[in-house]
Chain A
């Protein structure tokens, strides 16, 4: 076996955080060093993850960069590996991290050491989530992510941070309990928690439904799907800018990823049976939360609600079990990771200046911050799903897939394109355009170099992925086809089983 690249990528941030722990944080220089170490760690890790992209074999349907070490039991091993679906989620994570560190450069003042340590540990855990090929390993990473995030919101968050953190914790933890029970059950029945072995295992059909539900509830909370989405607006509003970026950019993707990696391969029949439920919840999410977004008075809350709507496209796309739907869903996750992060970073820019997220306080910002206004316009248009930006590709593909499967789902979900234009443009108008009525806005200064460096890559990537999405979509093709083939095979078995059962009853 080659160099254990995945473990390296998981460990680099941990090493970085260990280094930071050794630095004295009493004085200015120490704090500066802490930030520099954190930044360099993240950049190195990003470059390391690019290595994955370069060496990824897009034609192979096997997991790649596999590592497997003995661990808890014979069949509970430390098993990691990636395919085309996880590849870009890892790169997304490592890509966002340096910007999170940069975005916290000046606005985080107290306990900077602990803050950076929390972020680096979080990075390790998130990457672990996207590599894990063993249910127990996955569960550990998945749950452990909660702790640093809990701290980031709870310690460095806004005024109502305690309420937000508890809500966040309560939701996600109660979701995961069921998943834990399901994992234990799976181990008892099959004697293994290895995903590569389990995906060939035929669970009893009625049991599958229960297992599917147990996993789904946990993932639905993370997505978040209607009606378990109400933690997200609060968490976003209270989180510091970098926390929101990670929350929207990466943590929300764990739900969709979990469905693709576990729910569908392990419980294809469960996925089949509950398809309509997912469709209904997705469509409600798209319409319901878009309407709520229209009425918001807080910038971050508006973006949070729009996130829920956009994640609705992901679940809808995945459960079409078509190439377009699933690839669109994966692409939508990547794209939303970029767009929502960029939006939260943009809000951070003006929040750092005026210390309020209230829409009404702003207006006329373009006069004082024209470059910022231009950047924000690109992100807004991407959020609306304008063709030529990455936001369009995901929505288009998922809707195209949905139309193939269920006309009504596509019909109602497509109304989202009207609603998203309404809330996003109205927000843009109220914040950026108009005459300046607030003296504070009159004093605003345009982007400084640091902010410029943070936002510019997002603009470029959002447009690049909009014009040439194939650079991502191509690499997800084999894994997607593989997933769909296995699913279809299982469904065929199931249906012939149903037929034979009916025949037996008939005779």
Chain B
């Protein structure tokens, strides 16, 4: 009952406000959905406390309803609760509750806010189904369900062409990932005859020696499965090559960006890999791939974030980059560290986004940082919130003493990459260190451009400038607490001394996987290295944007090629547009006009009927009415018949 309430309360809210929002009114809709999610959030904390520390029950499954039975396939709607799920429940519901309350203020002018809150709650429900699933198909249900909610929320302002396009792009790029995910599910069923987590995970070791033949190559079955699942994870978590939708998704209202495109949905890929740790532990080659993709994403996205001018785009690329960090952690076998970063990141990234939302709100929907500046005097509370978020993201802290949330989780990833024995580990370590520098730079650049210096906004905007209402600021206190303390408070249980008891059986690691112990024993230099990078980054940012604000433009001019390469996000959109989007429509036209109309119809029905008409006309011409014509054809016919019989007769 407890677990069912956590999952279904948001759904009830979504349905109530979705169907009867007009009748019950906007304010009531807001309160109903927000309260229900808040209750879910409180219950989630209780569950985490219970599962993680008090009784440690890690194998609870509640079956709700039979779903699908066909042959060997037997699936139910069910709720599985273990530590991993409990952590996700806390992340999802806490951020969702905060975002719900925040949105009451943020969306107060929107005429269709009932719809907005309904979607938010629907999203929360789908995300909860995802994290509580006990089989791959329910996971997939949640997976696509959050995709739907994301599509609806990105395109929430559906009169905007750009929002619609971004929504479709998000859905389709995710579908590309889901294509891999779906194949992975088929493959799992093919080898295990089941899609239930327990069955699959407990039999995973039987599969180690099995091979599957793909286009003439013999590939380890388990690697193939892991690879396919990872493609799904790449799509959802916006990893390198499938990342293009995430920045565009910022077309949605800012609370959506905070909830879906920073704290929860985009981390689903990380969750998937962690959930499937019993499979991934047996697929070292895929693990290396994950490290490579993760590290590349981290550096790529950070590099793009350096030059973006849209405040939300900077944070979006930052999210992308941080997700890369998480994948590196997973790839080196430190799943707990990846989830730890997911956990802390949810707080400070949601805080940054909602802070940015507060800025945008104050600036009458202006998002370009070039038109901001000097805002700290006008919106001091927002400024402090953003400062906390930035400190947490950049990993501010003193090793051995105290640090903000990101300090514990992010630094642990860098250390894990360093101690990792796989060959790509050093690549990852280097990339993550550089990315740490860039993170610090772009984060402080954002703060400096927005809040410091001289105001660059128009008089009109400046006159409307106002601090956000309390309904938007008070919920953020929870995120502030999380950004400051979540690292320090949970470090021990998540990744240090208490991690075995805490995670229990929810994350599987091989016997010889000691990375979680080793990463704490690195030298001081390594321990300090992310902090040093952070300091260098902030110094650069300070030098360029506070002391010498004219220099950045000069650099941009001098290094124009590099600058536009970064500004245009490595030209991914242009390339994809050129090789996928435009050809798709073109191919469709060719198939239609050439294939269907010019070949099939021409030689098929149209052609045949034309021929019939032609032949009929010819036959009609034969009936000329002239007797000698008829006689002549009779003679020809007769000749043929006689000849035929003569030839046949000779044979016998």
Contacts and interface: CB of A to CB of B under 8 A. Distances in A.
Interface residues of A, number: 61
A429 B164 contact: yes
A470 B148 contact: no
A404 interface: yes
B500 to A, nearest CB: 35
Given A396-B137, A407-B214, A421-B171, A470 B591 contact: no
Interface string A384-410: 001110001100110110011001001
A170 B176 contact: no
A422 B172 contact: yes
Contacts of B186: 399-400, 403, 410, 414
B96 to A, nearest CB: 20
B546 interface: no
A418 B179 contact: yes
Interface stretch (B50-58, B330-338, B595-603): B595-603
A35 B143 CA distance: 46
A410 B66 contact: no
Nearest to A331: B70
Contacts of A426: 168
Contacts of A418: 172, 175-176, 179
Nearest to A426: B168
A289 B65 CA distance: 36
Contacts of A477: 69-70
B168 A167 contact: no
Contacts of B589: 295
Contact of B588 (A170, A292, A411, A414): A292
Contacts of A367: 159
A323 B70 contact: yes
A411 B179 CA distance: 9
A366 B158 contact: yes
Contacts of B68: 393, 397, 469-470, 473
B587 interface: yes
Contacts of A429: 155, 164-165, 167-168
Interface string B360-396: 0000000000000000000000000000000000000
A277 B316 CA distance: 48
A468 B66 CA distance: 7
A417 B141 CA distance: 14
A131 interface: no
Given A425-B168, A429-B164, A170 B605 contact: yes
A120 to B, nearest CB: 30
B141 A387 contact: yes
Interface string A430-473: 00111100000000000000000000000000000001111001
B588 A230 contact: no
Contact of B183 (A171, A230, A410): A410
Contact of A230 (B70, B72, B141, B601): B601
Interface in B86-137: 137
A387 B77 CA distance: 12
A434 B164 contact: yes
Interface residues of B, number: 58
A468 B65 contact: yes
Interface string A320-350: 0011100110000000000000000000000
A294 interface: yes
A422 B179 CA distance: 13
B130 to A, nearest CB: 11
Contact of B609 (A170, A387, A411, A433): A170
B179 A473 contact: no
Interface string A223-252: 000011011010000000000000000000
| Most A C-beta atoms less than 10 A away, residue of B176, B182, B183 | B182
Contacts of B165: 429
Of B182, B588, B591, B596, which is in contact with the most chain A CB atoms at under 10 Å from its CB? Answer: B588
Interface in A273-316: 288-289, 291-296
B71 interface: yes
A364 B175 contact: no
A469 B67 contact: yes
B584 interface: yes
| Residue in A367, A400, A432, A473 whose Cβ sees the most chain B Cβ within 10 Å | A400
Contacts of A419: 584
Interface in B606-652: 606, 608-609
A433 B591 contact: no
A387 B187 contact: no
A410 B189 CA distance: 13
Given A170-B605, A403-B190, A288 B158 contact: no
Interface in A146-194: 166-167, 170-171
B592 A296 contact: yes
Given A230-B600, A435-B159, A291 B587 contact: yes
Nearest to B584: A294
Contacts of B159: 364, 367, 433-435
9 contacts: A170-B609, A289-B591, A322-B71, A388-B145, A393-B68, A425-B171, A433-B164, A473-B69, A477-B70
- Across the A-B interface, the 9 shortest Cβ-Cβ residue pairs: A323-B71, A295-B588, A403-B186, A294-B588, A387-B141, A433-B158, A291-B588, A292-B592, A295-B589
Interface of B: 65-73, 77, 137, 140-141, 143-145, 148, 151, 155, 158-159, 161, 164-165, 167-168, 171-172, 175-176, 178-179, 182-183, 185-187, 189-190, 212, 214, 584-585, 587-589, 591-592, 595-597, 600-601, 604-606, 608-609
Given A230-B596, A387-B141, A434-B158, 16 more contacts: A170-B609, A294-B585, A392-B144, A403-B183, A403-B190, A410-B183, A411-B183, A419-B584, A421-B171, A425-B151, A429-B155, A433-B164, A434-B159, A434-B164, A468-B65, A477-B69
